[in-house]
Chain A
């Protein structure tokens, strides 16, 4: 990558989608969504002047991860308990339990999950932002830039009603 191409700052790490993974980057006057298959990258740009809104919806991501880690922790917990009841030292199960417990805690501490969409006049795009805390930090960063880019917009004129043609 040439030096003059280093104009983008990363906003999110890659998030897995359908057959690809997406990440969000901040450009000089736009947001860029990078969709990568591992062998090719596609760059989708959204100018600050075109962004109408960010929409946030609920997501069950955190709950599913909690369930997954919880189920693993329960399994390891059973193995540890079984080992202790048999007066043995369940080292491997204990290590597994600790690792799973750490991941469970990390998932909990990362905060609530969400799904975020960027809205323009012609499209609504899913953004790879999955945690509410991350979204708040990103909005804090880009909101002033977007509002500055849209400072010169005027209220849209009222649409004139069309009169139907008079039948001959």
Chain B
């Protein structure tokens, strides 16, 4: 099996030799003697045909917006720029240029690579300072401010905003502020 040259043992990470395979889907690594199974797909042996751009032959030919030396073969369906075969990328059923693809990805959930979880941050800001409670005189107002500022921030892409955490953090911070107000009132009164 030619694909053994590119697959590695899941246990020891060494490349699997052809003799390691019992059949198409399983075998035993000759290095670490661990059994393994493989579920392979056509991409292991096949590849997408890479389009080769055509060079400009006649000076009056339309050229690619991004590669002046390549002939324009398609038009971006979003911005209308002329594109060579390398820059014309199928995306979501349309042919788009790299810049329009980047813009589409930025709008789409599939383009998001990282998110901060404001709810978890607010809850930690409210709870963790309780370990050293005098700090809550500073962190309680900070928590309230963070809850107000971060209320409309996007949350987890897969688990939602976690607004209940913001609500709980806000309530805890309010309780802490009330406690400090009470302490201050008693101090002032006893003077």
Contact = CB atoms under 8 A, between A and B. Distances in A.
A55 B36 CA distance: 7
A32 B161 CA distance: 19
**Residue picked from B34, B43, B109, B155, most chain A C-beta under 10 Å:** B43
B8 A5 contact: no
A153 B42 contact: yes
Nearest to A35: B114
Interface residues of A, number: 50
Interface in B120-152: 120-121, 124
A56 B38 contact: yes
Interface in B154-183: 154-161
B38 A55 contact: yes
Interface residues of B, number: 43
Contact of B109 (A5, A41, A57): A5
Interface in A37-68: 38-43, 45, 49-58
B42 A147 contact: yes
B43 A50 contact: yes
Nearest to A126: B10
B45 A53 contact: no
A154 interface: yes
B20 interface: no
Interface in A72-129: 115-117, 119-121, 124
A39 B40 contact: no
A41 B10 contact: no
Contacts of B34: 57-58
Q: Which 5 A-B pairs have the closest CB atoms?
A: A57-B10, A153-B46, A52-B44, A56-B37, A156-B47
Interface of B: 3, 6-11, 13, 34-49, 109-110, 112-117, 120-121, 124, 154-161
11 contacts: A36-B156, A39-B117, A39-B124, A51-B43, A53-B39, A56-B36, A58-B36, A119-B44, A150-B46, A154-B47, A156-B45
